[in-house]
Amino acid sequence: MRVTAVVFDMDGVLIDSEPVWERVRRDYIAEKGGRWLPDTQKRLMGMSTGEWSRYLAGELGVGEAPEQVADEVIERMAAHYDREVPLLPGAVAAVQRMSRNWPLGLASSSPRALIDTVLGRTGLIEFFEVTFSTEEVDRGKPAPDVYVAAAGFLRRKTTECAAVEDSSNGLRAAHAAGMRVIAAPRPEYPLDPDARALAAAVVDGLDDLTPALVAGRES
């Protein structure tokens, strides 16, 4: 497979936001009298806004309408990003490095408002030809919809794209789309073995994300 475009995930790949999402949602659920389950964070990673707000409202016992849950949690996340965008080490350099070789897309489970805030505040928006939220497709990750949409707007076949992902559901989504998957997992959220097996390569950090690795010219 010849790589002709690269699609990045955002949360956990470019920004260290999963701990922020977890803290914000945990606090919100506690305030609303709901319950946080042992597998909640793993299940939430990759869900679209509609999916996770229904999950919080229903299964986790938050006594509000899903639309209100989404608005209130996103407002808290936006307030955090107004104070600080937690860029991961090497994120800007990795995006710049890839952009010198391929057109870039972004396929994120974050809502559109937070994608635009993060990319705008960090200046990364100039490097992406297309950005997609799972809000804008039918299904969130692990379904492939957001990756299929990003490839389509890049005018590439999904099988010509490489994806950079951190989560198990993200890897499953990109692989289901037919992309070459590079895993960049966060140590606090280890990959499920079946998801890790889908990766063509695994990097410990974005400094290791090289054009040769993405293109499959490195073992």
pLDDT of residue 69: 97
Closest CA relative to residue 78, chosen from 23, 115, 127: 115
Per-residue DSSP letter, 11: B
Q: How many CB atoms lie within 10 A of CB 61?
A: 13
**CB under 8 Å to 62, separation ≥6 — which residues?**
28, 29, 32, 33, 34, 56, 69
pLDDT of residue 46: 81
State how far the Cα of 172 lies from the Cα of 109, in Å rounded to an integer.
14
Please give the positions annotated as active site: 9, 11
Q: What is the pLDDT of residues 1-37, one digit of tens each?
A: 799 999 999 999 999 998 899 999 999 999 999 999 9
State how far the Cα of 17 lies from the Cα of 103, in Å rounded to an integer.
25
Q: What is the pLDDT of residues 136-193, one digit of tens each?
A: 999 999 999 999 999 999 999 999 999 999 999 999 999 999 999 999 999 988 999 9
Is-contact 140 166, C-beta < 8 A? no
State how far the Cα of 92 lies from the Cα of 163, in Å rounded to an integer.
16
State how far the Cα of 186 lies from the Cα of 26, in Å rounded to an integer.
19
Query: pTM of this prediction?
Result: 0.89
State how far the Cα of 167 lies from the Cα of 142, in Å rounded to an integer.
10
DSSP, collapsed to helix, strand or coil, labels residue 107 as strand
State how far the Cα of 145 lies from the Cα of 183, in Å rounded to an integer.
19
Banded pLDDT at 204 (limits 50, 70, 90): very high
pLDDT of residue 207: 97
Q: How many CB atoms lie within 10 A of CB 153?
A: 12
Cα 128 to chain centroid distance, Å, stands at 15
**Stretch (H or E) spanning 26:** helix 18-31
Alpha helix stretches (DSSP H) within 58-198:
66-83, 91-99, 112-122, 145-153, 168-176, 193-196
pLDDT over threshold 60, residue 219: no
pLDDT over threshold 90, residue 42: no
Q: How many CB atoms lie within 10 A of CB 4?
A: 18
pLDDT of residue 191: 95
Q: What is the pLDDT of residues 78-111, one digit of tens each?
A: 999 999 999 999 999 999 999 999 999 999 999 9
pLDDT of residue 182: 98
